[in-house]
């Protein structure tokens, strides 16, 4: 055993976070670098002819000629066949956020390809060609915006050059449109298919030598484009990780101690081996890292069901001497005690909050709390892995961090990363869970032992017992108002969890720049740490998803205490339109904030009279570079049955790439937020999660889905992601609406803890 | 030995244990992986198929209990010639899916609904569909696609 003090103390996860944080800053770095350097860096230079195709193709809008020849290869993102099929490679994992459609749209726009001619192919994993490939932080759009536009523009320039040479005219006299190059003066046209072979052999222009299109010339971006996998989805094609098969594969289930850190002491291996269909049963020591392989018992069988059925006969006595003893009820109590004590540290401070509080005309205090929750992505973890005789490892896995999965798999198998091939599959929901690759590591450990292709399948119970949970947390606020009812002071004592006694658990920190920050004038965030053992992780809009609830409800409390309208109060806090940190798109712009607050309120007819038992609630939040305001209209019965009738979303994420996808993300985020705030919690006793399947984890169903009305302010700022930032404002908007409807201030999530339920 | 008629074809389930849930027989024995595993306890609807026309949770239906039954899965929803049903087409056109994992179950539940009730109200839809979770929460589009398909049916 290492000297780790807790299973939740996770240096590797911390490193991953740092990497993602570092990559978050990449677009700025890229803009700073010369474009030529950038293309060198990303391998976007090689052109030529390729024969044969790797990866699963998707979507074929145009018919492919049976006689089609080999595709010309322009760069890692673009290939064109003689018959004019334009293959665009989708580099990042598709978890339902829509990037398998939206990222290729960016290439197609600059390429001036007709979308009907485009065939999207999921790319291989290759950092040297594609740069970072992952789905996290709503970063796919901002991190690839320049790279993909350049990829399309460079290929287009090569096609134009080839046409110009063919016609012996200047390239500047030619233009491209609808998958063809035109020469207006002579009224000639050549299709991309006809030009492809010659074009791909031509010189590759430097990225800074090609002109990117003006937004006003866009033909594709901003339109409603349906998902490239839609037909495969509705016909049940094998798209997902769980659907992958190879000849000769066997099936495995892996049983770990329900309290993290427990090890199998005694196991009835022989008895389980004798069960029908069972091929082998063995224990794995693992490396003791929750991000890799924890100790457990593998059952390998001829089918998934044979493995699951044999598992019922499994008897394991766990050695829990090093296992987590986490208890939610104990930490709830400990948090209340910490609230009365001096905080461990100060996270951020502006002005003099203590002086401002004692000088305030009015002060109010409030404490907020929220529970741990599970990701509960609908596809339980699985991976198909094949360790071959020559030490090569082939993997099919639904992972949000495929490059990290390759490295981890190599480590677990004891081979060089070059020996690992990982195929990206479509992913049945991510929400941050699959940033961790523990299930990949387990599949690798098992295939290495059995030497056959192994499909590891987790049960739902495995999934919910061995999640990297969204951390719970506690906020103890004190706020002050001046004599004119303006915000004068804001103090937030945040009580969170720690595995090492020094730093918060993964996704359990509050960080700097949390609302209202410097806008309050006098502001302080303090932090205290409670001991915690169970691994935690990033869950859709990490930390924002919970902190928004606490801060935006408390802002409403202050507005009420001041006798002010919530909207006016928020706009006053925003003040003059400006970036709070010039040049850093990760920090809020108060002008964009005010604009979405105004728009959401306008659409919802904010301020209108509401019948008894009904109310409107407002909240704003900035996260993942997106400015979002939401207004919820709710009614609440005398016995606390809640109906959320409608939610208005106003968003500024810059220009929208795919309107259908962006709206879908906003609708989904709103409903995810509502589902989670109403009834979802994972509680722990003796280190064990108590809610381990959907019978005790009531994800919202259709009958409770509100109407959602989404409005985008398509500003000229660079486009940013839509998968996460619509979620944080939902919970405070609904809680504020419940207050407006009933006068009851709910300061705990889920609402079910306070007796609320869906009507 | 259990026999089933799956998507119009007779299938003999060899040495499959009659206790095996239909879900796993379809996926692992017959290679029909369109039907999905979500919870295994009849809570999510991802595994919904039609057994003799009724929407059924295949994860809790032992094959031995439905010997001889007619089973339709997502792979058998379209016509023999591959022609999509109006429901499938509406799902594509309305861009319903996010991750798409629940959608086979949603489509099977929805097609059973439309077979029973060709022009369902919002409430009918909610009632019929509330056994099917969508973790990505595409509920609004599911409802709309069902209405569109119902209209397309000429109802
Ligand atoms: S897998 Fe059958 S209902 Fe969830
Ligand atoms: S689309 Fe992801 S679960 Fe429904």
pLDDT of residue A20: 55
**pLDDT tens-place string over residues A657-700:** 999 999 999 999 999 999 999 999 999 999 999 999 999 999 99
A599-630 residue pLDDT tens: 999 999 999 999 999 999 999 999 999 999 99
Question: A429: part of which helix (H) or strand (E)?
Answer: none
CB B103 to CB A233 under 8 A? yes
How confident is the model at residue A285, as a pLDDT? 97
The whole-number pLDDT of residue B60 equals: 98
A178-196 average pLDDT score: 97
Mean pLDDT of B111-115: 98
pLDDT at A412: 98
What is the overall mean pLDDT for chain A? 92
What is the Cα–Cα distance from A386 to A548, expressed in whole angstroms? 44
CA angle A667, A671, A675 (to 5 degrees): 170
Please answer whether residues A651 and A710 qualify as being in contact, where contact means their C-beta atoms are separated by less than 8 angstroms.
Answer: yes
CB A113 within 8 A of CB A151: no
pLDDT per residue as tens digits for the range A301-354: 999 999 999 999 999 999 999 999 999 999 999 999 999 999 999 999 999 999
Q: Which of A129-143, A344-358, A444-458, A471-485 has the lowest mean pLDDT?
A: A129-143
* Cα A265 → chain centroid: 38
Please write the tens of the pLDDT for every residue from B10-47. Answer: 999 988 999 999 999 999 999 999 999 999 999 999 99
**What pLDDT, in 10s, does the model give residues A641-652?**
999 999 999 999
CA–centroid distance, residue B73 to ligand 1 (Å): 14
B100 within ligand 2 shell (Cβ under 6 A): yes
pLDDT bracket for residue A8 (50, 70, 90):
confident
Using a CB-CB cut-off of 8 Å, the residues of chain B touching A693 are 39-41, 43
pLDDT at A22 over 90: no
Q: How far is the CA of A267 from the centre of ligand 1 (A)?
A: 29
Check pLDDT > 90 for residue A75.
yes
Provide mean pLDDT across the span A246-262.
98
Atom number of ligand 1 nearest to Cα B59: 2
Question: Taking residues A93-102, what's their average pLDDT?
Answer: 95
Cβ–Cβ pairs < 8 A, chains A and B: 197
- What does the domain layout of chain A look like in residue ranges? 4-233, 241-322+381-457, 342-373+469-758
Instruction: Please give the pLDDT value at position A652.
Output: 97
Cα of B123 from ligand 2 centre, angstroms: 21
pLDDT confidence band for A14 (50 / 70 / 90): low
Q: What was the pLDDT predicted at B69?
A: 98
In chain B, residues 118-137 whose CB comes closer than 8 Å to chain A:
125-127, 129-137
- pLDDT class of A5 with cuts at 50, 70, 90: low
Instruction: Please give the pLDDT value at position B79.
Output: 87
Residue A28: pLDDT over 50: no
Residue located via tokens 């009851």:
A744
Q: Is A399 within 8 Å of chain B by CB?
A: no
Confidence of residue A17 (pLDDT cuts 50, 70, 90): low
Q: Over range A137-163, report the average pLDDT.
A: 95
Q: Is B151 on the interface with A (CB under 8 A)?
A: no
Topology match between the domains B2-75 and B86-151: no
User: What number is the average pLDDT over the span A98-102?
Assistant: 96
List CB contacts (< 8 A) between A667 and chain B.
Answer: 137-138, 140-141
* pLDDT for the residue A13: 57
Task: Establish whether residue B137 lines the binding site of ligand 2, counting it when its CB lies within 6 angstroms of any ligand atom.
Answer: no
| Three-class SS state of B145 | helix
CA–CA dist B47, A460 (Å, integer): 13
Chain A partners within 8 Å of B73 (Cβ): 236
Residue-wise pLDDT for A425-446, tens only, equals 999 999 999 999 999 999 999 9
Q: Of all residues in chain A, what percent carry a pLDDT higher than 70?
A: 92
What's the pLDDT band for A39 if we cut at 50, 70, 90? very low
- Please give the ipTM for the structure prediction: 0.98
SS3 (DSSP) at A323: coil
Candidates B2, B99, B120, B143, partner chain A, best to mutate (most A CBs within 10 A): B99
What homologous superfamily does CATH list for B86-151? Answer: [2Fe-2S]-binding domain (1.10.150.120)
**Is B7 within 8 Å of chain A by CB?**
no
At A394-418, the pLDDT tens digits run 999 999 999 999 999 999 999 999 9
For residue B47, give the ligand 1 atom closest to its CA: 2
* Helix spans in A589-681 (H): 590-604, 659-679
Domain B2-75 belongs to what architecture? Roll (3.10)
Q: Quick one: pLDDT at residue A191?
A: 98
Residue B150's pLDDT band (cuts 50, 70, 90): very high
Chain centroid offset of residue A354 CA: 38
Domains A241-322+381-457 and A342-373+469-758 share a fold: yes
* pTM, to two decimals: 0.93
Mutational test site, ligand 1, from B40, B51, B103, B135, max ligand atoms within 8 Å of CB: B40
- Most confidently modeled of A37-51, A66-80, A476-490? A476-490
Pairing verdict, β A250-256 and A454-457 = parallel
Query: Does 3.40.50.920 match the CATH number of domain A342-373+469-758?
Result: no
Provide mean pLDDT across the span A254-270.
98
Torsions phi, psi for A328 (to 5 deg): -65, -45
Residue A519 is predicted with a pLDDT of 97
Q: What are the beta bridge partners of residue A525?
A: A348, A492
The whole-angstrom separation of Cα A485 and Cα A465 is 48
Q: Which helix (H) or strand (E) holds A383?
A: strand A382-387
For residue B54, the SS3 value is strand
Q: Per residue in A447-461, pLDDT tens?
A: 999 999 999 999 999
> What is the pLDDT confidence band of residue A707, given thresholds at 50, 70 and 90?
very high
Give the closest ligand to the alpha carbon of residue B26: 1
Report pLDDT digits (tens) over A369-392.
Answer: 999 999 999 999 999 999 999 999
Assess whether pLDDT exceeds 50 at residue A47: no
The angle, 0 to 180 degrees and rounded to 10, between the axes of the packed helices A659-679 and A730-742 is 50
Report whether pLDDT(A1) > 60.
Answer: no
Mean pLDDT to the nearest integer, A245-258: 98
Compute, in angstroms, the gap from residue B78 CA to the centroid of ligand 2: 21
Q: Which of the 8 DSSP states describes residue B66?
A: G
Task: Give B120's pLDDT tier (boundaries 50, 70, 90).
Answer: very high
Does A315 reach chain B within 8 Å, measured CB to CB? no
Please say if the pLDDT value at position A3 is more than 60: no
- Determine the pLDDT at residue A24: 44
The reported pLDDT for the residue numbered A59 is 42
Instruction: Read off the DSSP letter of residue A518.
Output: G
The atom number, within ligand 1, closest to the CA of B60 reads 2
The answer on pLDDT for A62 being more than 80 is: no
Which CATH number applies to A4-233?
3.30.365.10
Asked if the model's pLDDT at residue A43 lies above 50, the reply is no
pLDDT of residue A34: 34
B95 close to A226: Cβ distance less than 8 angstroms: yes
Q: Hey, which residues does A278 pair with through a beta bridge? A: A301
CATH architecture entry for A241-322+381-457: 2-Layer Sandwich (3.30)
pLDDT at position B80 is 85
Determine the Cα angle at A506 with ends A501 and A509, to 5°. 75
Domain spans in chain B, listed from the N-terminal domain onward: 2-75, 86-151
Q: What is the CA radius of gyration of chain B?
A: 15
- The β-bridge relationship of strands A641-652 and A757-758 is parallel
**B129 vs B112: CA distance, rounded Å:** 10
Q: Pick from A328, A724, A751, A290: which is nearest to A542 by CA?
A: A724
């Amino acid at each position: 055993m290492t000297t780790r003090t807790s299973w939740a103390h996770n240096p590797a996860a911390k490193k991953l976070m740092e990497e993602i944080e570092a990559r978050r800053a990449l677009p700025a770095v890229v803009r700073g670098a010369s474009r030529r350097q950038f293309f060198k860096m990303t391998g976007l230079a090689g052109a030529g002819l390729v024969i044969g195709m790797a990866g699963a193709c998707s979507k074929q809008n145009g018919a492919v000629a049976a006689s089609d020849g080999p595709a010309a290869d322009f760069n890692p993102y673009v290939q064109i066949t003689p018959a004019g099929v334009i293959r665009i490679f989708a580099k990042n994992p598709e978890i339902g956020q829509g990037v398998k459609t939206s990222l290729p749209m960016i290439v197609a726009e600059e390429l001036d390809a007709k979308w009907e001619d485009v065939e999207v192919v999921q790319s291989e994993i290759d950092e040297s060609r594609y740069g970072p490939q992952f789905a996290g932080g709503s970063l796919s759009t901002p991190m690839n915006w320049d790279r993909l536009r350049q990829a399309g523009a460079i290929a287009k320039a090569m096609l134009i050059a080839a046409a110009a040479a063919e016609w012996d005219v200047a390239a500047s006299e030619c233009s491209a449109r609808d998958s063809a190059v035109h020469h207006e003066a002579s009224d000639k046209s050549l299709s991309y298919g006809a030009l492809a072979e010659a074009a791909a052999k031509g010189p590759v222009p430097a990225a800074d030598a090609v002109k990117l299109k003006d937004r006003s010339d866009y033909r594709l971006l901003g339109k409603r484009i349906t998902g490239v996998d839609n037909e495969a989805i509705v016909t049940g094609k094998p798209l997902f990780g769980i659907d992958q098969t190879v000849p000769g594969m066997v099936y495995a289930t892996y049983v770990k101690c329900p309290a993290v850190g427990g090890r199998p002491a005694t196991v009835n291996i022989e008895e389980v081996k004798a069960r029908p269909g069972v091929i082998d049963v063995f224990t794995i020591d693992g490396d003791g890292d929750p991000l890799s392989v924890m100790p457990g018992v593998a059952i390998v069988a001829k089918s998934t069901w044979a493995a699951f059925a044999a598992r019922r006969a499994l008897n394991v006595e766990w050695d829990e001497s090093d296992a987590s003893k986490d208890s939610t009820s104990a930490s709830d109590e400990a948090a209340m005690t910490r609230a009365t004590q001096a905080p461990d540290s100060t996270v951020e401070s502006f002005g003099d909050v203590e002086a401002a509080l004692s000088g305030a005309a009015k002060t109010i205090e409030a404490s907020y709390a929220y529970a741990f929750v599970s990701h509960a992505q609908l596809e339980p973890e699985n991976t198909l892995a094949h360790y071959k005789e020559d030490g090569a490892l082939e993997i099919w896995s639904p992972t949000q961090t495929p490059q990290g999965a390759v490295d981890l798999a190599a480590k677990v198998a004891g081979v060089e990363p070059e020996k690992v091939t990982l195929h990206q599959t479509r992913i049945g929901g991510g929400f941050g869970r699959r940033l961790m690759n523990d299930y990949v590591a387990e599949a690798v450990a098992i295939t290495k032992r059995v030497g056959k292709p192994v499909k590891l399948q987790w049960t739902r119970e495995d999934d919910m017992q061995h999640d990297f949970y969204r951390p719970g947390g506690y906020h103890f606020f004190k706020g002050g108002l001046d004599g004119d009812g303006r915000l004068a002071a804001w103090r937030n004592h945040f009580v969170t969890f720690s595995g090492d006694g020094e730093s918060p658990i993964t996704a359990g920190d509050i960080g700097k720049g949390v609302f209202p920050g410097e806008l309050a004038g006098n502001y302080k965030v303090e932090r205290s740490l409670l001991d915690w053992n169970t691994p935690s992780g990033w869950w859709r809009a990490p930390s924002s998803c919970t902190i928004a609830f606490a801060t935006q409800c408390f802002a409403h409390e202050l507005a009420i205490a001041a006798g002010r309208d919530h909207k006016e109060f928020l706009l006053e806090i925003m003040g003059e339109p400006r970036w709070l940190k010039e040049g850093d798109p990760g920090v809020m712009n108060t002008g964009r904030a005010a604009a979405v607050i105004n728009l959401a309120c306008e659409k919802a007819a904010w301020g209108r009279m509401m019948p008894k038992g009904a109310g409107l609630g407002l909240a704003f939040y900035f996260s993942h570079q997106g400015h979002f305001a939401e207004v919820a209209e709710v009614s609440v019965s005398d016995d606390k049955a809640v109906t959320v009738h409608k939610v208005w979303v106003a968003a500024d994420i810059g220009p929208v790439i795919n309107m259908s996808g962006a709206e879908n993300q906003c609708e989904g985020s709103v409903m995810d937020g509502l589902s989670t705030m109403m009834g979802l919690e994972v509680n722990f006793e003796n280190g064990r999660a108590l809610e381990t399947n959907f019978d005790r984890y009531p994800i919202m169903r259709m009958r409770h889905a509100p109407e959602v009305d989404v409005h985008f302010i398509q500003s000229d700022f660079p486009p940013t992601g839509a998968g996460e930032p619509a979620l944080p404002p939902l919970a405070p908007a609904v809680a504020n609406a419940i207050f407006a409807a009933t006068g009851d201030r709910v300061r705990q999530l889920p609402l079910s803890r306070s007796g609320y339920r869906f009507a | 030995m259990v026999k089933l008629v799956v998507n119009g074809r007779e299938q003999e389930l060899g040495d499959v244990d009659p206790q095996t849930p239909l879900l796993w027989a379809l996926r692992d024995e017959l290679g029909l992986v369109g039907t999905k595993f979500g919870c295994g306890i009849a809570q999510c609807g991802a595994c919904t198929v039609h057994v003799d026309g009724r929407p059924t949770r295949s994860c809790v239906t032992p094959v031995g209990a439905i010997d001889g039954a007619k089973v339709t899965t997502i792979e058998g929803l379209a016509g023999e010639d591959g022609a999509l049903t109006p429901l499938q087409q509406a799902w594509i056109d309305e861009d319903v899916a996010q991750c798409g994992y629940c959608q086979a179950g949603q489509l099977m539940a929805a097609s059973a609904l439309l077979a029973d009730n060709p022009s369902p109200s919002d409430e009918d839809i909610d009632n019929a569909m509330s056994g099917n979770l969508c973790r990505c929460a595409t509920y609004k589009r599911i409802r709309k696609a069902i209405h569109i398909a119902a209209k397309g049916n000429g109802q």
